[in-house]
Amino acid sequence: MKTKLTRSMKANETKVEDFLSSNKTQFIIPVYQRNYDWSTSQCKQLLDDILDVGKTKKMNAHFIVSIVYVHDDVYTASRIKELTIIDGQQRLTTLTLIYLVIYRLAKELKDEELIDEISETYLINKFAREEQKLKLRPTENNDKALNYLLRSDDNEDFQDFSKVIDNFNYFKGRITEENYQFVLEGLSKLMFVEISLDRKKDDPQRIFESLNSTGLDLSQADLIRNYILMDLNRSEQNKIYQNYWKIIEQFAKDETSNISRVSDFIRDYLTLENKKIPNKGKVYIEFKEKYSTMALDDLENILSKIKTLVYHYNKLINPKNEKDKDIRLQLEYISRLEKNVAFPFLMKVYDDYAQKIINKEDFIKILYLIQSFVWRRFIVGLDTKSLNKIFMSLYDKVDSSNYLYSIQKFLMNKSGSQKFPKNSEVLDALKVKDLYNIKPKNRIYLLERLENFENKERVEVDGNSDITIEHIFPQNPDPKWKIGLGNEQYVFIKENYLNTIGNLTLSGNNGKLGNKTFLEKRDLEGVGYKDSRLWLNKYLSKLDIWNKVEIEKRTIQIAERFFKIWEYPNIELLDETDNGEVNIFEAEDPKYKKLEYAIFFDQKIEVTQVTKLYVEVFKKFFEIQPETFFTTDLGTRIGITKNPCETGLRQPVPINDTYFIESNIDSNGKFDRIKQALTIFQFEDELTIKYAQ
């Protein structure tokens, strides 16, 4: 690991035992540091190294990377010097555990000299106040665990989970009366590079970033936490951590898997604020750029907004925490769709519901609407990437005086790859789409919602091992199927309709039905379609044959139910925007026409000529993503070049200080190239024009 030293930084090669034995010193692990989380394998590697060095008679030093701390010359009332550790806490904590194990062993061996040496040299400041006795002062839970281990005579169990306790027990099992002298000898040979920073002259955050870039495995959330807290004094750190960041960490967690989602949550928050989705690996950079300088009051205001939204985010990722059963059910459905791109929008709508800006009925209708929009697009097979752009700005389209309608109107006005598919498009897709070989969560979501619509007795499919998906025409049919259908229809169904919704149902007796003929499946006593209480099997119970025609009829029947569940909004769009503005894809032939203006990325552009619009659009696209001009045929089509004379452009126009494009193209040709670019960049809905009258 290489760290660029500043003039005020002090770097020395130091023995571990000399560093830990510093008199009247406390090593503080600040609240912004990640938790102690070394694994057993990491502990094993360190102890193996210590034993190897300890058993070697040579006096060779063994280096274990570096320890970086902020040296503020801060002394407590009892004259204890505090060093704030910004890199190295994992090893310092682990080494302290090893000394603690030897301390416990010395007590068992009644070796009073070793007891005093370990305790008063490496573990405690003997004459300090209680809270400053431990030389290593980790974060809250780890501090409790270390104090518990130091009270070796206490018999009570440590109640909380702690890696400190786990790793102590690991070392306790390996360090014995037979080898502890080798461990002590190995510890005496350990060295590291001690890097001391002066907060007034150095920039601890920048140095921390440098360390992270060279190997620390920190999440984006870790980096943001450090950025927020590192420059605050101790009391301010504790205040901000306890009142804000600790709550954010607590609520931005997937409680089923116990996985932190803070980085994802902050990414969604920034998406909402910036109308741009940060790269997953650049959330910290985006956060730092947005909040480059913050006084304490500003920081509290920002974190207060973030904290408000995290309560709603918690319910989006953990629907079970929503107390209202009707809302909870819709959140569970949304969770199955795994469309987290909607979270920035949904967090704000959730907050409006919490603030009583909208009532429960409208909130549930919006949750239905989002499912309909997303699920219809999935059925039709539209690109999911365009959802990012829609949801990042959707909340801005909300009219609080006509809340639900404003969202419906915005989504219904989308076109191209961002459109809200209509019933006819969905029906065409349902006839042929393979809905068996999709994600199990999605498959269950579809069939469970179809089954339970307006049913008084709810049927649980997710997590119910008794109910499984059944192919009516089997995947491996009995030969009797071919005889009954004839070869041509048999092959057609198998190749085209096998996994479509028309041929799928639910059954609690899939194993018994198997590959039997349709009549056998229908009439099997107690388990056949005739005796089924499921809606999905009602239609089947009345049939005498299962063939191409019946599959198509059932598809239409299911589609009718589908349209009631995942509705296309049944509203009349008020003709309030019919002012001549039209999406460029729907515009009339531009030949011999002049423009009044254009709207590009919600910005009005005062252009009257198609050529001017053409140049402005390509300037913007080149600014956003220049590489696309060279990785697709777009650049060739518009003649992009640095040397217009050499490449023979007849009428070159600049799109920046370096590049030119050909403008000697008729208006239709310019429109065609603009449309191609909008499609490649997936911005089909971002350019509206108005022709001059």
pLDDT 10s digits, 416-455: 778 899 999 999 999 999 999 999 889 999 999 999 998 8
* Residues contacting 448, CB < 8 A, separation 6+: 459, 460, 461, 462
pLDDT digit string, tens, across residues 268-288: 999 999 888 888 889 999 999
| Cα-based distances in Å from 526 to 182, 509, 532 | 74, 10, 8
CA 223, CA 544: separation in Å to the nearest integer? 66
Q: Tokens 């039997």 belong to which residue?
A: 516
Q: What's the rounded mean pLDDT across residues 511-535?
A: 84
Model confidence band, residue 211 (pLDDT cutoffs 50, 70, 90): low
Best CA proximity match to 602, nearest among 581, 625, 576: 581
Question: What token pair was written down for 487?
Answer: 């070869």
CA 668, CA 688: separation in Å to the nearest integer? 16
Q: What's the rounded mean pLDDT across residues 656-661?
A: 92
The size of the chain, in residues, is 693
Best CA proximity match to 303, nearest among 236, 364, 367, 212: 236
Model confidence band, residue 59 (pLDDT cutoffs 50, 70, 90): low
Instruction: Find the helix packing angle between 89-108 and 40-55, rounded to 10°.
Output: 70
Residue 1 predicted with pLDDT over 50: no
User: DSSP letters of 318-340?
Assistant: -GGG---HHHHHHHHHHHHHT-G
User: DSSP letters of 378-408?
Assistant: HHHT--THHHHHHHHHGGGG--GGGHHHHHH
Best CA proximity match to 614, nearest among 651, 657, 645: 651
Q: Tokens 């400190």 belong to which residue?
A: 164
* Residues contacting 127, CB < 8 A, separation 6+: 78
pTM above 0.85, yes or no: no
Residues facing residue 597 across a β-bridge = 690
Best CA proximity match to 82, nearest among 66, 93, 90, 71: 71
Question: What token pair was written down for 676?
Answer: 């191609």
The letter for the amino acid at 333 is: Y
Do the bridges between strand 25-28 and strand 136-137 make them parallel or antiparallel, or are there none, so unpaired? parallel
For all residues of the chain together, what is the average pLDDT? 87
pLDDT score recorded for residue 664 = 92
* Residues contacting 2, CB < 8 A, separation 6+: 214
Model confidence band, residue 659 (pLDDT cutoffs 50, 70, 90): very high
pLDDT score recorded for residue 3 = 45
Q: What's the rounded mean pLDDT across residues 233-244?
A: 86
Residue 5 predicted with pLDDT over 50: no
Ramachandran region of residue 34, left (φ > 0), alpha (ψ -120 to 50) or beta?
Answer: beta
CA 528, CA 508: separation in Å to the nearest integer? 10
Cβ neighbour number for residue 585 with a 10 Å cutoff: 15
